[in-house]
Each structure stands twice: as structure tokens, then as C-alpha cells.
Amino acid sequence: MTGKPSRGLGAARLAALCGHWPGVSRDTKWGIDMVFSVDGKMFAVMPSDGSEGGRLSFKVADDRFLELTDQPGIIPAPYLARARWISVIEPQRFATAELEAFILDAYTLVRAKLAKKRQAELGPLPILQARRK
């Protein structure tokens, strides 16, 4: 029996994914938005109550911004698009593994902007573990 790959990414899974990465903190902003930051610099945002269809916003590389926002279910993130953030407004369109990879990329991008000394203090970058059904 083969299972379908899981789709979307909920608040609990997002917290479990990146909540333990080096230098990551989680807080609530704008009422219900769960914000993940590395050394105080945001890299991912999601409504903690699952509202807005489970919208997931995060930083992307400059050269991927236009490519990603051309896909159905992804828009430039309101207020943060100029900093090259996107919002996945239909997360169920995407495999969970793909969304997890986007979040790791966002963390890596933001962490790379920290001082070299601080990056070294944080240690190695996290890696995603393959999930088995």
C-alpha cells in the first residue's frame, strides 16, 4: 500500500520543524501570527490559529521571487514583498516536503546575513530528515 505524500504545513508542524534550529525564537505578532526568527530577524510567519487558509509567508532568494510568485497559490507577501518575501496562500497545493525545504532556505538566507562570528557560534546548518509514512 502506497501513501500519498502529505500536503500543506500546519502551525504545529512548522513549530516542530524549525523551533529547535540554532538561534531560532518564536513569538506572536500582529495578534495571531506565529513568527519564527533567527537572532531576532524574521524568516517565517504563519497564523497560529490556522486562519487565512493556513497562509505561510517566508523569505526567498531574490532570483526565485518572480518565479515563485508566478505559481498558482503563491503571492508576494503583503508589506514584505520588497524584502523578497512570498505568501503561500494555498499551502495544500504543495507537498509538505517542498514547503519544509522553503522554510529551511528562508532560515539559511536570513542566517547568512548575520555576522560571520555569530553564524559560527550557531554551528552547522540544520538538515531536513526524510520522513517515512
- pLDDT tens across 62-120, in order? 999 999 999 999 999 999 999 999 999 999 999 999 999 999 999 999 999 999 999 99
Q: Could you read off the pLDDT of 34-51 as tens digits, one per residue? A: 999 999 999 999 998 777
pTM metric for this prediction: 0.90
Give the whole-angstrom CA distance, residue 35 versus residue 25.
8
